[in-house]
Amino acid sequence: MALIYLSLGSNIDRQRRITAALDALAENFGELLLSSVYESESVGFAGDSFYNLVVGIHSSLPVGQVSKILKSIEDQNGRDRSGPRFGPRSLDIDILTVDDRVGEIDGIQLPRDEVLKNAFVLLPLAEIAAHSQHPVTAQSYSQHWQQFDKDKQKLWPVDFIWRGENITAAN
């Protein structure tokens, strides 16, 4: 079973879309490892703020099959793939890492380059995988977060209730 970290984001009906995504991920993959939920300004375009978090799942499925499940969850939550690359999203789920695999696997580039570029990915990943090492740099995600230019992108934790628990307060 591979440990797979996913980035989730939404800036359209955020509470409902993230809740639905977590429910679908739990249904498909079982127990989830959850970061806090963070609100961040949109990056790359002017738009409403996003809710973002990182989720850890375990799966023995091939990376391509996991990707198909994630795209189906996005589609069920109104994902419009016809818009610009940087634009509003009802739901975005990206595979960040699969264990310590590197390279293109089933059309997915691992690790995802956004891990080290975006605060809304790196901070929640560092929160739940602080001592895990980035498979290319061999530095921990905690070290990467300590070195990250925190003035570059603003984000802040927000209360988020899922299945009766504030997952942000739990972390």
pLDDT at position 12:
87
pLDDT at position 46:
57
Q: Which residues are within 8 A (CB) of 115 and not within 5 positions of it... i.e. 6 or more apart? A: 96, 97, 121, 122, 125, 134, 141, 144
Helix axis angle for 63-76 and 14-29, nearest 10°, is: 140
Domains of the chain (ranges plus CATH)? 2-166 (3.30.70.560)
pLDDT at position 170:
66
The beta strand positions in the chain, using DSSP E, are: 2-10, 33-34, 37-40, 50-59, 92-98, 103-105, 108-110, 155-158, 161-162, 165-166
In three-state secondary structure terms, 79 is coil
Local structure of residue 57 (DSSP, 8 states): E
Q: What is the mean pLDDT of each run of 10 residues along the chain (171 residues)?
A: 96 94 97 96 72 98 97 82 62 95 95 94 96 96 95 92 90 65
pLDDT at position 81:
54
pLDDT at position 84:
56
